Amino acid sequence: MADRKVDYSTLKVNQAFIIALLTIAFVISSSWLVVFVAAVMLVGTAAPSLSLFKQIYLHILRPAGLVKPHVIVDNPEPHRFAQGFGGVVLLGAIVALFAGAMTLGWALVGLVVVLAALNLFLGFCAGCFVYYQLNKLGVPGFARGPIEQGG
């Protein structure tokens, strides 16, 4: 299990971009910016190597010394699930926004911002929590349990 590692700096940069871009989207009332963020999140979930924000961290922020790596023994799957869940919520927001339900749409965007902020500032990953609860329930596809000490 020692080879299962997650660079938490990648996650933090990802969350910071999500919060910043969705906040900007709300301020300038840009549904297309929400579409862009949702696309980045969902593509990053399906293929982590293609995550735009991760690439910015790896090729710009880290080499420039602006963000230092913070590697922790952890499972990457719950974090991918959390990002994917956020992307799906943003899909719902996009449908609402383009259907004219602006309050609902921006409320769902706000929900994603709040969940990302909880993770970024308080270290609480709601999606990871849900993943591990589903793992405890034995739901197929949620195979990874918390990595125990020494494991």
Partner 1 sequence: MIERLALVIVLAIFCGATYYGLRSLHIRRMKPAHAGAAAPTLLYFRGDSCAVCPAQTRAIDQLASLWPDSLQIERIDAEHDMETAARYSVFTLPTTIWIDGDGRVRQVNYGLADADKLGRQLSLLAAIKLDQTPSVLNSKSAQSA
- What's the min distance (Å) between Cβ of 125 and partner 1? 8
Binding partner 1 (rule: CB under 8 A), the pick from 86, 94, 125, 142 is 125
Residues 6+ apart with CB under 8 A from 44: 14, 50, 51, 52, 53, 54, 83
Q: According to the binding rule CB under 8 A, does residue 124 interact with partner 1? A: yes
Q: According to the binding rule CB under 8 A, does residue 151 interact with partner 1? A: yes
Structure tokens at 7: 């660079």
- What's the min distance (Å) between Cβ of 56 and partner 1? 18
Q: Say if residues 8 and 106 touch (Cβ distance below 8 Å).
A: no
Q: Where does the chain have alpha helices with state H?
A: 8-27, 31-46, 52-56, 76-98, 102-122, 126-136
Q: According to the binding rule CB under 8 A, does residue 128 interact with partner 1? A: yes
- Residue 35 sits at the vertex; the CA angle it makes with 64 and 108, to the nearest 5 degrees, is 105
DSSP helix/strand/coil, 117: helix
Q: According to the binding rule CB under 8 A, does residue 73 interact with partner 1? A: yes
- What's the min distance (Å) between Cβ of 68 and partner 1? 5
Q: According to the binding rule CB under 8 A, does residue 7 interact with partner 1? A: yes
Q: According to the binding rule CB under 8 A, does residue 103 interact with partner 1? A: no
Nearer to partner 1, 96 or 128 (CB): 128
Q: According to the binding rule CB under 8 A, does residue 69 interact with partner 1? A: yes
DSSP helix/strand/coil, 138: coil
* Nearest-angstrom CA–CA distance, 7 and 138: 27
Nearer to partner 1, 104 or 147 (CB): 147
Applying CB under 8 A, the residues found at the interface with partner 1 are 5, 7-8, 23, 26-29, 68-74, 78, 117, 121-125, 128-129, 131-132, 136, 146-149, 151
